Amino acid sequence: MKPIVILGIFNADTTYRADRLPKIGETILGQHFALGPGGKGSNQAVAAARAGGRTHFITRLGADDFAKVARATWKTAEVIPEVTEDAGSHTGAAFIFLEAATGNNAIIVAPGAGARISPSDLDAKADLIRSAAVFVTQLEQPIPAARRGLEIARAAGVTTILNPAPAAALDDAMLDLCDFITPNETEAETLTGLPVTTLAEAEKAADALMARGVGAVIVTLGSNGALYRDRKRSVHVPVISVGPVVETTGAGDAFNGGLAVALSEGRDVIDAVRFGAATAGISVTRAGAAAAMPARAEIDALLARG
């Protein structure tokens, strides 16, 4: 089976659980702290590898202790690292606030070496990208690097997925490189200028993105599941609930990793969206981001139950 190649950054996640965020100048007491692996690209690579995909991850790390956390995380998940070590910067780190009552989150990312990923890093891995079944990128690293990865993949006929997170304005030329784009409601609003609060509004936003060149759109809708829309069909895939929600931090990354695996296996796209939804549905019942990603057997068992 051809590999999945993912571009992105690794962060050491510092997670704080409290009743609310403090105001400027205020100090409050939290209920829990944890240090663990994160970064959207890294999380997606872990999700894809644990879901059964042969997954390569292109990134930059500093020469520091957080880089050791990254490498240990990937080794456990069987992610194949494609790393440039950047001694002139630090490995990325993130502040994650978790609202105790709901599990909802707010995040600040300091990408460090990840912010220095450049198009030349992608050119150096061009043969690997061309060999892939699926290429995935997000926007935590600089946009020119993401664009170059998409260009290399598209020229080779590799399926391309853009998870446009964090939200950013993108030009039509970049959108035209995307076979699939996977925004959440906020990201879809940023890209289109249209409100996305209902399924009908999500469909309009999807149409606007396709008019700008995207092949197909998957809008992730949180507790309302996901909308798949292309030029021939529109399908709402409900959320796959497994149990009480513990933490939503890595849900989108779980979805994208699972989606990439299913597409790499040649599944019908709606089946691939369901596979991604099952991956995310399991992940939110656990604490952490990378640590919450389910194994392939768990995903298959959940889908087998219908």
Mean pLDDT on 221-227? 93
pLDDT in tens, 26-67: 999 999 998 889 899 999 999 999 999 999 999 999 999 999
The predicted pLDDT at position 289 comes to 84
Q: Has residue 96 got a pLDDT over 90?
A: no
- Strand order through the sheet with 32-38: 32-38, 11-18, 92-99, 105-110
CA distance 172 to 198: 25
Q: To which residue do tokens 């995307």 refer? A: 178
User: Rounded to whole angstroms, how far apart are CA atoms 154 and 152?
Assistant: 6
pLDDT in the model for residue 238: 94
Catalytic residue among 253, 268, 271, 300: 253
Tell me the C-alpha distance between 299 and 51, whole Å: 7
Residue with tokens 């606030």, as numbered in its chain: 97
* Domain boundaries 40-60+75-82+117-304, corresponding CATH code: 3.40.1190.20
Asked which of 16-20, 84-88, 243-247 is least confident by mean pLDDT, the reply is 243-247
Confidence of residue 227 (pLDDT cuts 50, 70, 90): very high
Listed in sequence order, the residues at least 6 apart from 243 whose beta carbon sits closer than 8 Å to its beta carbon are 285
What's the pTM value of the predicted model, to 2 decimals? Answer: 0.92
Instruction: Give the pLDDT score at 287.
Output: 84
Q: How much is the average pLDDT of 115-128?
A: 98
In the residue annotation, 253 being an active-site residue is answered as: yes
Strand pairing class (226-229; 234-237): antiparallel
pLDDT digits (tens, 9 = 90+) for 234-270: 999 999 989 899 888 899 999 999 999 999 999 999 9
Residue whose token pair is 């692996």: 37
Instruction: Report which of 144, 180, 190, 192 is spatially closest to residue 256, judged by C-alpha positions.
Output: 180
pLDDT score of 13 more than 90: no
**Percent of all residues in the chain with a pLDDT value above 70, rounded to a whole number:** 100
Q: Is 29 helix (H, G, I), strand (E, B) or coil?
A: coil
Q: What is the pLDDT of residues 122-179, one digit of tens each?
A: 999 999 999 999 999 999 999 999 999 999 999 999 999 999 999 899 999 999 999 9
- pLDDT at residue 104 in the model: 87
Q: Where are the domains of the chain?
A: 40-60+75-82+117-304
Average of per-residue pLDDT values in the chain: 95
Q: Find out whether 158 and 132 touch, Cβ atoms under 8 Å.
A: yes
In the block, residue with structure tokens 């994160």: 38
